[in-house]
Structure 1
Amino acid sequence: MTRTQRWLTGIAVALGVVVSAVVVTASALLPSDEKIAAELSARFEENFGIGLKIGSAHRTLWPMPTLVLNELATAQAQPIVARRVMLRLRVAPLWRREIAFDAVDVEGAVFPSASVRAFRGRGGAGKQDDLAKKHLPSEWTLASTPVEQLRWRDVRWIDRRDISLAYDGEVTFDASWRPRVAAIRRLGVEPVTQARAERVGSNEDRWRVLMEAGGGTWNGEARLDTTPAGLLRVTGRFEAKAIDIESLVKAFDRRAPLAGKLSGTTEIDVEGEQVTEFARKLHTRTRFSVKPAALTRIDLAKAVSTAGISRGGRTPLDELSGTLDTQGTDDGVVLKYTNLKARSGVLTATGNVRLFNRKIDGDVAVDIVDGVVGVPLKVAGTVDEPEVSLTGAALTGAAIGTAVLPGVGTAIGARIGQKVEQMFGGKKDDRAKAGVGRP
């Protein structure tokens, strides 16, 4: 069995823990609901090293073997909880000593990101057949399609900043965990924010992806391959059209530092031994254009005219374009904006900006005299409270320029100051020595 055929191994591990208890419910022994709950909790802790409390369990055999688990909670400081989990077992495969679920439904679950990270590396890994031998009774195995449908309702994800976002969704699987159709919807937001993936053909690992967000669309295609080193690799390309940035960001309970409608092309690329690694390793590149646009928390013209630190304000732009690279890490997502180009009736600007864990670090050159003079600005602070200022050497040059030639002299002096700093190997940002930001 190739690595491609073992994708979603992490799900198979968890499924293997549940399976034995479900098999027992279909046997002639008919154990009590309490015994089923205790057995499942014990197997979960044995496999993952983390305890699981189950409020109650209830099984029925007609018309379809079904196990319902209520009020689940992991034994963690901030537990993963689920109000209800229902598993429906298919009868026909049982005659072949195979386990296959018609559906798995999850309702009212909460997944704190810190608690989910605690499961990394736990539960083992390997081939689906090996997992079945570990968790199932002798001579039993998982079917080629272990789960036909996985559905979730009102499932919440709590991120590093304790922002809780609710989702509905479902996945219909083909053999070997290949999603045939997958959909996810963000709950309680307008305009609609959702994504849907549909497999192209039955023998190809390609999916057509349709996304709606911010009143626009982000559609394209993704594919799954196996690298020469045996790793799983997902690549894709998507076209963004007329996506309102503020609406998009608001749908995920955040505020946008940029306003306007975005269009562009996004490419994704990620590799890993298991699909469960993809979220924290995902790399994307988007070449974008926003027009008209506005920087909602920065006034570039004010920063240039005051030659000091500037916070707040707004910068209207006729157009903003550039490239956004995102790279997932174990500690969050790094965002890099490069080749930024902005223009409006009063200024043009170019620059590069890096964002990580809501902190900003970047450099911008603002042209205020018909694109001839570039005033160098340092961008810092946070996404919620960004600030722009002249670098130390540029500030000194600006002061000299003002004395020599008021107005335009400030901009010319700032540029000269920056060049002198670079020529003599000065620090990129020497604002402290120049007294910028001191009370």
Structure 2
Amino acid sequence: MRRCFFWVGCGLALAMVLLLLAAFALGQWTGSDGFRQRVEREATAALGVPVTLSRVTVDVFPLPALALEGLNIQARPALTLQRVEARPVWWTLLQGRLAVATLIVRQAVLPQTTIVLLAARVQDPAGKPAAPAPDGEAADLSWLPRRVVLDDVTWIGAQGRSSTVQAELALDDDGWPADATVAVTLGALQGTQAVLRREDERQTAWTLKVDVGGGTVQGPLKVTRPEASAKARDLVFEGTLETQGVEVSALTAPSRTLTGRLDASTTLAARINPKTGGASLADAMRTQTRFTVNNAVLHGVDLAKAVATVGLSRGGSTELDTLAGQVRTRGQLVELTNLVASSGVLAATGEVTVAPSKALSGRVRVDVTRGAGGDVVGVPLVVGGTVDDPSVSLSRSALLGAAIGTALMPGVGTGAGANLGDRVGEGLKDLFGK
């Protein structure tokens, strides 16, 4: 019996030595310049842009892992990753299958425009459609890492706003997120913390809570999968979020065009084709929001002075007791409708559109009550400029009417003439289609 244990022990020791020698040899091979250059060539050919790499390493301790260091994808703008580490599930490797248990990304800079470009280049490179899953069966997502860790990763949005995050994501066996945590440590939305939790492993539904700007955004999210017999394989995304006490400028920083505490109710909806990329998701998203901003201050525009100068004034600020309205988004387009603002003797209504480029367009009517008699002077204003530098002015027809009204009835006639000129101008526009 002792001899049997002796030989078993010797066999295990020999296997361990061979395993260590194999790991050492593999590390030497992958760490060679020849192997690194081969990886660079393959990646460059696949992505269509130059790719450089500092080192490839295979670690055994404390946990077995394959790592790429100093990865630089030289697109415009460049995508850089200081270290990408993949920890495989070793028992699946023994079965001839690759499964990643943990993927760790450290000190990376990820520009959105570059990621969208690269995703379009590598998507379905052979032009062959993926084999459909059998009826009633979900697609095989076993290749996805069970856990993803982002350490000091900076995301640069399409408009140039950047955020650096610490994040962790865990996936269930079906490939859907089980839970996720995100903390924004630098840049836009700095200080924001978000937590996502799956409600039930049998359902594709989650609860989201975000702490931002001294308030909260929270609510349920749900993805409805198509029936097995359905021809359309789109996923339907739905959500309802309640916003309470969030400082508006925390959402728009570094811009401070509007400050105040935001309360809102938002519904989200999107129909998503799983075969398309993240850009398609952003374009497909539709939201509708009813909001109120308490103790609002509009920076960059003094509406009362704009009325007094018939839209010729720029700069200043407007303090509002209440600002309310509706927001509708379609992809990156933002439309503000049914805007109602009030502050003492001042009241304003209107509609404004925010383009993806942050350009503003719209119309606002501002009424100011003057004198003991309660006379109301109102001026229709055209909203222009950008989110960071808004402006208001009279339309050409309203400006002509204001000039005529001032000549006939100085003071009161200015606003009345502007209103009349604006209505005449709109009528001619509708008549001639210009």
**SS of residue in 2 equivalent to 1:358:** coil
Shift of 1:146: 3.2
**Alignment pair present for 1:70 and 2:50:** no
Of residues 372, 375, 379 in structure 1, which corresponds to 2:379?
Answer: 375
**Alignment pair present for 1:317 and 2:320:** yes
**Alignment pair present for 1:220 and 2:219:** yes
Structure 1 range deviating more: 197-206 or 67-76: 67-76
Question: Structure 1 pair 112/143, CA: closer, same or farther in 2 (3 Å)?
Answer: closer
Q: Which residue of the partner structure matches residue 399 of structure 1? A: 403
1:294-333: CA deviations, max 9, x gaps? Answer: 11110111111112422111011110111112222xxxx2
Shift of 1:388: 0.8
Q: Which residue of the partner structure matches residue 182 of structure 1? A: 180
**Alignment pair present for 1:285 and 2:288:** yes
Question: Structure 1 pair 371/69, CA: closer, same or farther in 2 (3 Å)?
Answer: farther
1:29-86: CA deviations, max 9, x gaps? Answer: 7743235534543443444333422110110345643112110011324321111111
Quote the Cα distance in structure 1 between the aligned partners of 2:114 and 2:120: 13
Quote the Cα distance in structure 2 between the aligned partners of 1:201 and 1:119: 34
Shift of 1:125: 4.0
Quote the Cα distance in structure 2 between the aligned partners of 1:28 and 1:111: 33
Q: Which residue of the partner structure matches residue 22 of structure 1? A: none
Question: Structure 1 pair 224/426, CA: closer, same or farther in 2 (3 Å)?
Answer: closer
1:34-433 correspondence to structure 2 within 5 Å: 34=32, 36-61=35-60, 64-125=63-124, 144=142, 146-188=144-186, 192-226=191-225, 229-250=232-253, 254-274=254-274, 276=278, 277-328=280-331, 333-356=332-355, 357-369=357-369, 374-425=378-429
Structure 1 range deviating more: 58-67 or 256-265: 58-67
Quote the Cα distance in structure 2 between the aligned partners of 1:116 and 1:374: 49
Quote the Cα distance in structure 2 between the aligned partners of 1:428 and 1:360: 25
Quote the Cα distance in structure 1 between the aligned partners of 2:375 and 2:75: 58
**SS of residue in 1 equivalent to 2:53:** strand
Q: Which residue of the partner structure matches residue 435 of structure 1? A: none
Structure 1 range deviating more: 409-418 or 313-322: 409-418
Quote the Cα distance in structure 2 between the aligned partners of 1:161 and 1:38: 34
| Equivalent AA in structure 1 for residue 358 of structure 2 | R
| Equivalent AA in structure 2 for residue 196 of structure 1 | V
Conservation of the 8 A alpha-carbon contact between 1:338 and 1:353: yes
Question: Structure 1 pair 341/143, CA: closer, same or farther in 2 (3 Å)?
Answer: closer
1:87-121: CA deviations, max 9, x gaps? Answer: 11111222332222221110111122332232132
Quote the Cα distance in structure 2 between the aligned partners of 1:425 and 1:257: 31
Structure 1 range deviating more: 168-177 or 347-356: 168-177
Shift of 1:153: 1.2
Question: Structure 1 pair 428/386, CA: closer, same or farther in 2 (3 Å)?
Answer: farther
Quote the Cα distance in structure 1 between the aligned partners of 2:252 and 2:210: 15
Quote the Cα distance in structure 2 between the aligned partners of 1:143 and 1:420: 62
Quote the Cα distance in structure 2 between the aligned partners of 1:39 and 1:131: 28
Question: Structure 1 pair 428/72, CA: closer, same or farther in 2 (3 Å)?
Answer: farther
User: Structure 2: 5+ residue runs without aligned partners?
Assistant: 1-21, 132-139
1:2-36: CA deviations, max 9, x gaps? Answer: xxxxxxxxxxxxxxxxxxxxxxx879977432355
Specify the structure having the higher radius of gyration (Cα). Answer: 2
Matched positions, count = 388
Shift of 1:358: 1.9
Higher relative contact order (CA 8 A, sep 6+): 1
